[in-house]
Structure 1
Amino acid sequence: MSADGLVMLAEPARLERDVRKSLFLAQAAPVTTPADALAFVRAVSDLDATHNCWAYRIGQDYRSDDDGEPGGTAGRPILQVIDGQGFDSVVVVVTRWFGGIKLGAGGLVRAYGGTAAECLRLAPRVPIVRRTRLTFHCGFGDLALLQARLPALDAVVEDEAFDAEGAQMVIAVPEGDVENAIGRIADLTRGQSVPRVVV
């Protein structure tokens, strides 16, 4: 079950195209924090290029930058493409090397937005799954079996803290599978481990 139909990039993507003698290069990457997004912008921006325009969307956090192009002609169209294609947790940088022909405001919107759109359209994507965190203690006798069975529950181990008796676990399971995961873990440990939802 995806989070409201949202998707994220499966891996970084790039696309180059010429628009009236200007070269446009779109580079996109999956990110989890604004700091990650800005680090990607710094890493792929070409200081010799005319402009490095960008946008990111991470949940409710978003930002865009025209990098010297007329206001609203580059960063905002890139952000609109991200939102329009249902992406989250993504950053896109579109770099332009000016080719001598001015594109005008409408031409810039089409060039930046179009390059970003084509890059994302061709990129491999995966659905975003909302997850609920569960915590429980598991004795050493059940730990190996439980670790072997967690992938079948589509559970992601977020934390394991070991003590004298076993491990305190924090896992994340798909929202719709919480009751099933709690029941399976209780069954596998013969009732010794009963997960509770982390609030």
Structure 2
Amino acid sequence: MPQTLRAAVSSELIIKKSRFIGCVQPMTDRASAQAVVDALWRQHPSAAHICWALLAGGQSAAVDDGEPSGTAGRPMLDVLRHQDLEGVLATVVRYFGGVKLGAGGLVRAYTDAVAQALLQAEKATIERMQILQCTAPYPLEGLIRRMVDAAGAELLQVDHGSLVTFKLQMPQSAAQAFVSTLNESGQGRIGWIKPDELAG
């Protein structure tokens, strides 16, 4: 199951006089990642490179920022992939120390900077959420509200028509058991609306 990070964590390495400042943090999209990188440039105006990798579904990116192609962004992204992370940005600020590291040395340095930060990071499992919708007669409204609360689900919407329609969200892993329990308590008077029946 994919995980994300609870908070930003940094690390620092000195390799042949070059300074590598790595950071990993939760991030969901490329625009936010770019804003973080822009802020890093303001904090480190004399840095030689700020390379970064974002693992966030279709928003993923790997940026070498002037380092030889494939020696920074891609290896950083690979570290995130190997840890089964999702929604994470890795950045490495490099101050050049005057000694060239070569392609292999660069890959190791950028990989290590990210891996070191990840060692200290607190991870959180990403729960896939499911939306459920059901209808029930008015006398069952109180019961359903109590059961939604007890299950730790989030009530998104309640509509009062000829029946009461509930729209709620909960972790996918708990949805099936919740539906079964509610059906039992409602004694067959609760109707479920499948996602493909939600026209419009």
* TM-score range for the pair, normalised by the shorter chain length: 0.7 to 0.9
Q: How does 1:7-18 map to 2 (within 5 A)?
A: 7-18=3-14
Structure 2 counterpart of 1:50, from 48, 51, 67: 48
2:122 is the alignment partner of 1:124: yes
Which residue in the other structure is 2:23 paired with? 27
Tell me the SS of whatever aligns to 2:53. strand
TM normalised by structure 2 equals: 0.79
Tell me which stretches of 4 or more aligned residues in structure 1 moved more than 6 Å. Answer: none
More displaced stretch, 133-142 vs 49-58 = 133-142
More displaced stretch, 187-196 vs 44-53 = 187-196
Percent of matched pairs sharing the same residue: 31
Distance 1:78 1:112, change over 3 A: same
Which residue in the other structure is 2:82 paired with? 84
Q: 1:51 offset after TM fit, Å?
A: 0.8
- Separation of aligned partners in 2, 1:130 and 1:148: 19
TM normalised by structure 1 equals: 0.79
Aligned residues between the structures: 189
CA deviation map 1:119-177 (0-9, x unaligned): 113211122333433223576534651342122xxx4x3x62344466632313224x3
Q: How does 1:146-165 map to 2 (within 5 A)?
A: 146-151=147-152, 155=153, 157=154, 160-164=156-160
Which residue in the other structure is 2:183 paired with? 186
Tell me the SS of whatever aligns to 1:168. strand
Unaligned runs of 5+ in 1: none
Tell me the SS of whatever aligns to 1:88. coil
Q: 1:178 offset after TM fit, Å?
A: 3.0
CA deviation map 1:81-103 (0-9, x unaligned): 11122211111111111222221
More displaced stretch, 30-39 vs 69-78 = 30-39
More strand by share: 1
Larger radius of gyration: 2
What's the RMSD between the two structures over aligned residues?
2.6
